[in-house]
Amino acid sequence: MDCFSRATLGRAVLGRTTLGLVGTALLISPLAISGALAQPKESVQTDAGALSIEPVVDGLVHPWGMAFLPDGRLLVTERAGRLRILDKNDSLSDPVEGVPEVYNQGQGGLFDVALHPDFDTNQQVYLSFADPGKDGATTALGRGRLVDDRLEDFEVLFRMEPRVEHENHFGGRIVFTDDDTLYLTLAERFQFAPAQDPTNHLGTIVHLNHDGTAADDNPFVGQDDGRDGIWSYGHRNIESAALHPDTNELWVAEMGPLGGDELNRPEAGKNYGWPEVSWGKHYSGEDIPDPTEDGEFAGSIKHWTPVISPSGMIFYTGDTLSEWQGSMLIGGLSEQGLVRVELDGDEVTHEMSIPLGARIRDVEQGPDGLVYVTTDEENGSIIRLRPLDDDGN
């Protein structure tokens, strides 16, 4: 079930309305609910002041991930299997050559894009994608070198096992650390119970070296009861992930079923409970036991009911929106906007919904200190948020 459907059904079952949809109607009613921008420029009032909502480019088919190149250009993926380059004049390139074949069905396709930390010297670009095969699709991670605006020598570094003949729940966010490793978020492929078994990759986060091998400090390395690459398990579907700029710890926002989206700081070897426990319900309306504090399952930092359908996340570190410095910005599909979260350690101290009138798939901070988001639409857009001055300019 897609994120819009689960949110719609969730509100019907739970009898509640999301703050994001209410805020959209109140603050930016000229924006159509489909996410199409009715005006070249609109604005939204936030606790950082008024922000203009500037369409940068449209014509992207379900854009999924973004990464800024050192020269200021922007790489953006389209779920159908295309990688494009947005230049500094906001012109979109033809599809980049050298991208792998993807399984473009349901929620499958080309997902995230990330630059190797030493991109300046090695030109390596990492992609996550739904990898097709005779026994079904799986989530894969690969890399190639960006040379003359094409990918060369692309190689697959990791594949989630087992393959599954299903179109939903792939995860797919790539997060580089500062110690020559990376995290790749996965999902349980809508299979439920296997997320409780760390001898497979379903419902896990994997922690890998840059070449796709398991990181040495993973909790199951050398053990028979879990795969070497696994960092944590018991997850449902994670499409939001970012590294905290001060602690270098991984944070994720995870999609629940009917209700119960979770904010987590995944710890090594811990079980996050899906599908044994959840703050949400099954799509049938059947109850799922709430998490308890007995220590069997790791607890969440925060949960959302109704859902926000989190996808994309950054910690904002720029000066342009100084009021947001250090804040977590989470994209929301059913929320149709951003959710800004302030933290004090592991405690959420403030939260605000920023309605944008469109399903937000990814969030990035630009080299100009502005916030860029992608809209998950057949005619998808990249949108830029810019502060307005006292005269509204």
Q: Tell me the per-residue pLDDT of 156-178, one tens digit each, with 9 for 90 and over.
A: 999 999 999 999 999 999 999 99
In a domain, 77, yes or no: yes
Identify the active-site residue in 62, 169, 201, 235. 169
In a domain, 179, yes or no: yes
The pLDDT assigned to 390 comes to: 63
Task: Name the more confident of 81 and 16.
Answer: 81
How far is 2 from 344, CA to CA, in rounded Å? 33
106: CB partners within 8 A, 6+ apart: 166, 167, 168
Mean pLDDT across the chain, nearest whole number? 91
The pLDDT assigned to 48 comes to: 86
pLDDT for residue 149 is more than 70: yes
| Structural domain range at position 147 | 3-387
Helices (H), the chain: 3-14, 19-27, 119-122
Residue position matching structure tokens 């799922």: 288
In a domain, 393, yes or no: no
Identify the bridge partners of residue 340 per DSSP, sorted by sequence position.
329, 352
Q: How many domains does the chain have?
A: 1
SS3 8: helix
The pLDDT assigned to 35 comes to: 39
The pLDDT assigned to 32 comes to: 37
Q: How far is CA 142 from the centre of its chain?
A: 18
pLDDT for residue 141 is more than 80: yes
- Is residue 203 within 8 A of residue 234, CB to CB? The reply is yes
- Cα distances (Å, whole numbers) of residue 185 to 168, 208, 236, 249: 14, 11, 10, 14
The pLDDT assigned to 293 comes to: 83
Q: What single string gives the DSSP state of each residue in 101-165?
A: P---STT-SEEEEEE-TTHHHH-EEEEEEEEP-TT-BEEEEEEEEEETTEEEEEEEEEE-SS-BS
In a domain, 365, yes or no: yes
The pLDDT assigned to 294 comes to: 83
% helix / strand / coil in the chain, to the nearest 5? 10, 40, 50
In a domain, 185, yes or no: yes
pLDDT for residue 329 is more than 90: yes
The mean pLDDT value for 280-290 works out to: 95
Cross-sheet strand order for the sheet of 238-243: 238-243, 250-254, 261-264, 302-304
SS3 247: coil
The pLDDT assigned to 13 comes to: 39
How far is 104 from 135, CA to CA, in rounded Å? 15
In a domain, 392, yes or no: no
- Is residue 200 within 8 A of residue 194, CB to CB? The reply is yes
CB-side exposure of 83: number of CA atoms within 13 Å? 29
390: CB partners within 8 A, 6+ apart: none
Residue position matching structure tokens 């599954």: 164
pLDDT per position as a tens digit, 178-206? 999 999 999 999 999 999 999 999 999 99
- Is residue 334 within 8 A of residue 308, CB to CB? The reply is yes
- Is residue 178 within 8 A of residue 248, CB to CB? The reply is yes
Give the pLDDT band of residue 7 (cuts 50, 70, 90). Answer: low
- Is the previous residue joined to 275 through a cis bond, with omega within 30 degrees of 0? yes
The pLDDT assigned to 22 comes to: 33
- Pairing assessment for the beta strands 150-159 and 138-147 based on DSSP bridges: antiparallel
Classify residue 169 by its DSSP letter: -
206: CB partners within 8 A, 6+ apart: 158, 160, 183, 184, 186, 214, 227, 229, 230, 231
Query: What percentage of the chain has pLDDT greater than the value 70?
Result: 89
Q: What is the CATH number of the domain that holds 132?
A: 2.120.10.30
pLDDT per position as a tens digit, 58-113? 999 999 999 999 999 999 999 999 999 999 999 999 999 999 999 999 999 999 99
How far is 305 from 313, CA to CA, in rounded Å? 19
How far is 24 from 75, CA to CA, in rounded Å? 29
Give the pLDDT band of residue 392 (cuts 50, 70, 90). Answer: low
The pLDDT assigned to 41 comes to: 46
Is 169 tagged catalytic? yes
pLDDT per position as a tens digit, 23-62? 333 333 333 333 344 333 489 999 889 999 999 999 999 9
- Is residue 313 within 8 A of residue 364, CB to CB? The reply is no
In a domain, 191, yes or no: yes
The pLDDT assigned to 315 comes to: 98
In a domain, 92, yes or no: yes
The pLDDT assigned to 193 comes to: 97
- Is residue 20 within 8 A of residue 334, CB to CB? The reply is yes
